[in-house]
Structures are given as C-alpha cells and as structure tokens.
Structure 1
C-alpha cells in the first residue's frame, strides 16, 4: 500500500510535460547527423518516438537544437504526412501542456505555438480533429496570442522567441481551414486585434505587424464577414490608442507605430491583390488610418 501511495504521489507531483533535450538515446551530434540526412528515418515507429522526444527541445536555450533541428524536423515530417491522427493528437496535447507550463527562458511557449501552427495545418490538409477539438484549438490559439507579454524577437546568441509572430502563424493556419465557423473567425480576429497595438507600448521591429495581418487577409478571403462587419472591426482599433498622453508619450508613440504598421501592411496587401474579397477591405482600412492621430 505504501508503494502505491508513493507511486501516486510521484504522478501527482510530476510536471505535465518533462523537459529533456536531447531526447533519450540521442545527442546533439546524432541529431546534427540526422539533419545532414534531411531528417530521413525509414522506420515509422522510430520517427514517431523521436518526434515526441523532440518536443522537449522546443524550449531548449540552444537555438540549433530548438529551431534548426526540433522545429525543422517536426515541420518536415508533418508536411510529409508522416503521422496519423493518434500521433498528431498526442503531440498537440503535449504542446498544449507546454503552453500551460512555466517558461522563464521564454522559448517554450512561442515555439510550442509555432509547431501547433503546423499541427493545425495537418488538420486543414487532411481533417482529423472533431469540430469540438477544432473550436478548442481556435480558442487556444487566440488566447495564446492575447496572453503574450514577452515581446523579444531575435537576440544574438539566443536566437528567436517571437511570440506574437508565432501565435499569428497559428491563427493564420486556422483561418485557412474551411471547416471553421463564423464564431471561430471572429475569435481569430479578436486575437489579432489584441496585439495590433499592445498595451505595454512595445514597438514592433521584427515584422510582427505583417504576420498579424495574414490571418486577417485569409479571413477576408473567405467572404463570410460583411462590409459592415469589417467597417466595425477596423473602426474599433484606433479608439484603443486613445488621445495623445504626454505623460506617457513614448508608450503612446510605440503603440501608434504598431497600429500604423499593421494597417499599412493590410492596405498594401489589399491594394496589390487580385482577390476581390481582400481588395474590398480597402475603404475600411483607409477609414481606420484616418482615425489615427
């Protein structure tokens, strides 16, 4: 009985997702060798086991392990259709657990979101999620984008974090899924709006406004929102900037910079596209630009 209690205690106290990188049986050198072979692994079971192990490397401080090996390998395998629904579902749930856990170094959350964008893509290419799972993922993605407060992009010697951009990529892949319903498209747009001009006053310098614009463009391409819907959505953005606050001038100007960059990215895309549904955004974008002081 005592052994059972100890075993149960260990289960309860164990972290939701163990962080061990490189995975058991691997070294950085062996993973580099695998990358040199373009991540070719003929044995499907071995590939699945390694993929699950590489999830832990998404939070590793070593950018080569995190970005150059784990992310690249997982992306390549998923885009090749190497995993079935059960494996993808298991990976998704482990990535959710990573998002729910602590991330003091700041790498695990944004890279979990980036790989989740690839998981979302697999469901778009060959549906395997239930409508309930898909709706839950939309809410997860939007909530993640809304939660980002670490705005670090690229740092020499550390590599990328890029939380807003990676979250925007996740929303973009979801926005492309034809199985989404109107309520889920609205949730995606709410997530984007939350970071179009972040409350913290961080000035984007790593292309975040352009990445945030992509899910908006793909939602527009679906044609499910009316002209009035778009006018209302864009009109709600400038008031969030508020009047010029001279006591916090730097913060206000940074937020203005972000909003202008976001709207300008959208305008240029709408102006240059041949897609009539995206081009129809131009009047609403122009009206929003005119509202920005």
Structure 2
C-alpha cells in the first residue's frame, strides 16, 4: 500500500505539485489524510505533508475544502489520536505531530485572505491548548522513522495561530504557562525545539503587555529540589536552552528590560548546576 501511494504521489511532487489530469482532488486528499501518520518517513514527510501544504498554499483547494481539512486534523482521530492511551514512544505520535503541522499553512492562507470565522480561529487555539496540555511524546528524530518532532510542530502551529488578529491577550496568557510546563521536563530536547518555540513566544508577546512578558519569563527559573537527582539536571538544561534561545532573539528591538531579566535568570540557573 505504501509503495503504491508513493508511486502516485512522487510524480505530483516532481511535477511542481500539479494534480494530474483525471485525478480526483477529493479522493487523493482523503487518501493522504488517512495515511498522514504513516511511519514511512518519505511518504509521510516528503510527500503527503508537502503535497497537502502546497495544495493549500497554491489555491488547489477552495475555502470550504480547506475548512474540511482543518476540521479533520483537529478531531480525536488526528490531533488527539491515542494521546492519552498510547504507550511512550509508540508510533501514534506521528499522526498527531503531522496533523498539527497542517495548521500553519491553513492559518497563513487565512491571514492573507480571511475565510475562517472568528469562532473557528478560537476553536483552533482551544484545541492547540488541549493538545499542548496532553502531548507527552517529546522525541525529535526517530531512527528509521524520521521526524516525530511534536513540540516543534506544535510551536509552528502556535505561532501561526497567535499571529491571527482574532487571538486575544487572554488566550495568550492562558497558553504561556502550558509552554513552560512542556519545557521544564526531565526529557531532553535535542533538535532545536526551543528555537521553534521561541518564535511562537515572541509572536505571542505582541499580544500582551511588557510587564506580563517579564512576569512569565521569570517563571522559567527552575529551582532544584534535590542535588542527587540527575533528572533535575535535564530540566535545568531545557530551561537554559529556552532562555538562551530567547535571549539571542531579543538582542535587537525594544527588549532591553527583557534581556536584563533573562540575563539574571541565566545567572541564577548557574547556581542550580550540579558541577
């Protein structure tokens, strides 16, 4: 089945994402969505994701068709597929992470030419909030299976939705503590997840007051509970990586107070190091 679908999709990509004459767009889309979380990395990432994204960006789908794709990826069989029941490091994460990665091109299209209702944008944000609260598979690159990268993909989605005019400061303020919870964990982020999340954070910062930004950043200081638990060193490392990524991104612009706070937090984190 996988090889047959590759044989169908590879020529589409090779021909600049042009749908072959006589091929049903609806049938092809249904087939791709059904296989969006397939373990085969070329089929999942290089073909299905890239083709659906290109079709969204190039206007192959009308607005109603894009809405249908969005509704599909937000439901329990996609974005929330086995999210509370799958075992750690199970393949279910690929379906979740590549569902969330379809949100950015849809939001980009909406920002360029609005077609979603305000309540639909809020629904996307609410679903992302629930997803961020529940995702527990933090793997980046999985040998033999390619990118899982759930938190990086979620960051891209958060940035794309936060950039929409419809998202409010209150919605941002509810999301920021969830981001903190997802990054101060005892599983190491190894594949630039913090860089992708900082992009989302800076977009969200545009929606809140300067003091609110500072207050949230200060919550990123992790104070260890034990000097004998190596898992706490992983948490501190994740914390440092996120703060360092933020620091270098705010070297320019009107962020002098924020830079000062981040510098102080990084100094304080030095005191939490076990060596």
TM range (shorter): 0.7 to 0.9
1:161-218, Cα deviation, whole Å (9 max, x unpaired) = 01111111110111211232212222332332222212xx001111111111111111
Distance 1:30 1:122, change over 3 A: same
Matching residue of 2:16: 38
Cα contact 2:180–2:220 (8 A) shared by 1: yes
Matching residue of 2:50: 72
Matching residue of 2:266: 289
Structure 1 regions of 5+ residues with no counterpart?
1-20
Distance 1:229 1:126, change over 3 A: same
Distance 1:129 1:44, change over 3 A: farther
Bigger share in helix:
1
- Out of 37, 44, 47, the residue aligned to residue 25 of structure 2 is 47
- Measured in 1, the distance between the counterparts of 2:197 and 2:27 equals 34
Cα contact 1:75–1:118 (8 A) shared by 2: yes
How does 1:74-113 map onto structure 2 within 5 Å?
74-97=52-75, 98-102=78-82, 104-105=90-91, 106-113=93-100
Matching residue of 2:171: 184
- Measured in 1, the distance between the counterparts of 2:177 and 2:22 equals 39
Cα contact 1:138–1:188 (8 A) shared by 2: no
How does 1:101-250 map onto structure 2 within 5 Å?
101-102=81-82, 104-105=90-91, 106-198=93-185, 201-220=186-205, 222=206, 224-238=207-221, 241-248=222-229, 250=230
Cα displacement (A) at 1:160 = 0.6
1:241-266, Cα deviation, whole Å (9 max, x unpaired) = 33241342x21000100010000001
| Higher mean C-alpha displacement, 188-197 vs 112-121 | 188-197
Q: Which runs of 4+ in 1 moved over 3 A?
A: 42-45
- What TM-score does the superposition give when structure 1 sets the normalisation length? 0.81
- Measured in 1, the distance between the counterparts of 2:115 and 2:181 equals 29
Root-mean-square deviation (Å): 2.3
Distance 1:290 1:225, change over 3 A: farther
| Higher mean C-alpha displacement, 63-72 vs 144-153 | 144-153
- What TM-score does the superposition give when structure 2 sets the normalisation length? 0.86
Cα contact 1:210–1:262 (8 A) shared by 2: yes
Matching residue of 2:37: 59
Cα displacement (A) at 1:118 = 2.2
Distance 1:213 1:65, change over 3 A: same
Structure 2 regions of 5+ residues with no counterpart?
none
